[in-house]
């Protein structure tokens, strides 16, 4: 491919999507391979696009985390009339590719690997959220796995860059319905909890091999996220540990106030599950029970803090917090979306949002959605054998008194009637054992200010890191400095390090390129495992010698996952000769 974008030589196209193309490119002056995302020219028709692109690209370039793809540069390419971003080239498949490969082989990802991937992705989100950056399109196609199996979150800022006044006015929506939070389906921008919802959907998919909501069209999938009772992961995988089931249930709650309020909380529970410890994500008396009754014709989507109301099958199910006129408006808006979107082709955005190396898969058809008239509520058609969650605690506390809403007024045709006789005579299968009824604790009280909470958690983590003294000693280098090598040949050095500080090195501590000769080793070299105080670890430095003969020195720094420098910079010096 004989093409150049700015100072970058294009080598090959890696992927193409509705918003951009991604290319492998080479930066000759730095002897470095990069990935370039070229946004489609039509996006620049929005008069506000240039300012939005530059602002978001600058913000994304400031993100420096081992699990977030590094952005090096951004600019405008006059020949193609397109804006582009230059990023770290991650050699490896996307999580979407990995899942497809496992599915083709009839295999499924292990639970330990699933939890690790979600924990690393949550760590990336925690870092970004603490800097007021929301992803808005977290999905397997935007999670890459490099050759060391490190998780790398891509496409930060793209959702905000491509969402302009003209785009949304034409019926466009940025996001992927299979992983989109309910509030995003209603047209809201979403917040930290929306990203965590998407991550919870991915965890559901990893451990069960299925998506919780499938349908034939993007519109039907959005409606299911809004209206269909949240499925139980253990119904698809009965041997799933209760702790993981609880984590998923909390992460994909329909109401954002019922989810994890920060990525840090999400990570704490994931780590507990990895250690085999119990998780209190939703006490037993708060969690809906599994209800499987083929002859039962009652559908229920309750809030945790409201008394049980049973709704007969001919009635519609109403998602709490949205009145009947809201559902009517939603139907009208979504129908308009279908019409306008089909005319303008914007539904291509639903399939993948942003380009990935592989085509976006279409959700398999597993059930269908019934939509009521615009003036009525929206009903979810739930198969009779689909397990739904029914709360077993109906005693509201002083802090959980439900708000009286206009939609609660009695109406002959739409308002469900309480059935005290049914409530008073539950079946034994719905009665939890006394040992499984812990009291509600204030630990899970939703935070009224998510941004402030994330900032406070970041401050606590920063204070903890400050109390540590990080340092290292080089015990051995093989080969040592100033050895002579031929030009343009593979180069490898093993560096034996010892943790001589007073705090452990967390997983994903890394060697970071600073200046001088990079030896084409990439911007960061990671230490995957935790390194306790006094312990040793071998770091494998793999690169390539420069193309011209000379003496070379590269400056590198050892850093914690939170970007704190460990000790003094490391110099890597070699002598290179040409010919022979």
Indicate which residues carry an active-site annotation: 137
Pairing state between β 490-499 and 550-559: unpaired
Residue 221, token pair as written in the block: 């999938």
**Contact call for residues 572 and 481 (beta carbons, < 8 A):** yes
For helices 218-227 and 324-344, angle between their N-to-C axes, nearest 10 degrees: 160
- Beta-carbon contacts of 335 under 8 Å, excluding residues fewer than 6 positions away, are 374
Task: Please give the full DSSP string across 425-489, using - where no structure is assigned.
Answer: S--GGG---GGG-PPP-GGGPPPS-HHHHHHHHHHHHHHHHHT----EEEEEEES-TTEEEETT-
Specify the residue for token string 């899970």.
444
Cα–Cα nearest to 399, from 261, 283, 305, 286: 305
Classify residue 393 by its DSSP letter: -
Give the bridge partners for 297, in sequence order.
none
Query: Encoding tokens for residue 95?
Result: 């999580």
Chain centroid offset of residue 309 CA? 34
Residue of 239, 220, 273 lying closest to 114 (CA atoms): 273
């Amino acid at each position: 491919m004989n093409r150049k974008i700015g100072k970058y030589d294009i080598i090959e196209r890696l992927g193409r999507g509705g918003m951009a193309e991604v290319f492998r490119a080479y930066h000759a002056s730095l002897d470095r391979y990069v990935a370039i995302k070229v946004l489609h020219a039509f996006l620049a028709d929005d008069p506000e696009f240039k300012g939005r692109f530059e602002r978001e690209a600058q913000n994304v370039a400031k993100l420096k985390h081992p699990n977030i793809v590094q952005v090096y540069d951004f600019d405008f390419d006059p020949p193609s009339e397109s804006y582009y971003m230059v990023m770290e080239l991650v050699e490896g498949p996307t999580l979407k590719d990995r899942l497809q490969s496992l599915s083709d082989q009839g295999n499924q990802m292990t639970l330990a690997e699933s939890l690790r991937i979600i924990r690393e992705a949550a760590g990336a989100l925690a870092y970004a959220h603490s800097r007021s950056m929301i992803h808005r399109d977290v999905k397997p196609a935007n999670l890459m796995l490099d050759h060391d199996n490190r998780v790398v979150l891509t496409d930060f800022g793209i959702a905000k860059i491509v969402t302009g006044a003209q785009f949304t006015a034409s019926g466009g929506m940025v996001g992927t319905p299979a992983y989109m939070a309910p509030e995003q389906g209603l047209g809201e921008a979403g917040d930290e909890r929306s990203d965590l919802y998407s991550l919870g959907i991915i965890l559901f998919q990893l451990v069960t091999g299925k998506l919780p909501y499938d349908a034939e069209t993007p519109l039907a999938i959005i409606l299911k996220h809004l209206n269909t009772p949240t499925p139980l992961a253990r119904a698809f995988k009965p041997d799933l540990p209760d702790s993981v089931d609880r984590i998923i249930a909390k992460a994909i709650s329909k109401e954002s106030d019922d989810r994890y309020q920060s990525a840090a909380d999400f990570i704490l529970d994931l780590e507990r599950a990895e250690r085999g410890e119990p998780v209190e994500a939703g006490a037993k008396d708060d969690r809906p029970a599994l209800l499987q009754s083929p002859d039962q014709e009652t559908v229920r989507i309750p809030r945790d803090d409201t008394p049980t109301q049973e709704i007969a099958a001919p009635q519609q199910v109403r998602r709490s917090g949205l009145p009947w006129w809201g559902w009517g408006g939603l139907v009208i808006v979504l129908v308009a979306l279908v019409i306008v979107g089909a005319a303008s082709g914007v539904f291509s955005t639903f399939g993948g949002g942003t380009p990935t190396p592989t085509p976006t898969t279409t959700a398999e058809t597993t059930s269908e959605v019934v939509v009521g008239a615009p003036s009525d509520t929206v009903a979810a058609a739930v198969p009779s054998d689909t397990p739904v969650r029914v709360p077993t605690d109906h005693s509201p506390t002083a802090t959980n008194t439900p708000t009286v809403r206009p939609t609660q007024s009695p109406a002959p045709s739409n308002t469900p009637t309480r059935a005290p006789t049914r409530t008073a005579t539950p079946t034994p299968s719905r009665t939890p054992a006394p040992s499984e009824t812990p009291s509600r604790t204030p630990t899970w009280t939703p935070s009224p200010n998510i941004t402030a909470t994330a900032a406070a958690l970041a401050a606590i983590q920063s204070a903890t890191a400050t109390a540590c003294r990080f340092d290292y000693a080089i015990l051995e280098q093989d080969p040592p400095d100033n050895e002579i090598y031929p030009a343009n040949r593979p180069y490898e050095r093993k560096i034996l390090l010892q943790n001589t500080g007073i705090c452990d090195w967390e997983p994903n501590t890394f060697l970071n390129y600073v200046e001088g000769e990079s030896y084409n080793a990439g911007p960061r070299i990671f230490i995957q495992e935790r390194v306790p105080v006094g312990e040793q670890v071998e770091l494998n430095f793999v690169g390539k010698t420069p193309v011209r003969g000379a003496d070379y020195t590269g400056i590198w720094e050892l850093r914690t996952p939170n970007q704190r420098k460990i000790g003094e910079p490391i110099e890597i010096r070699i002598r290179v000769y040409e010919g022979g």
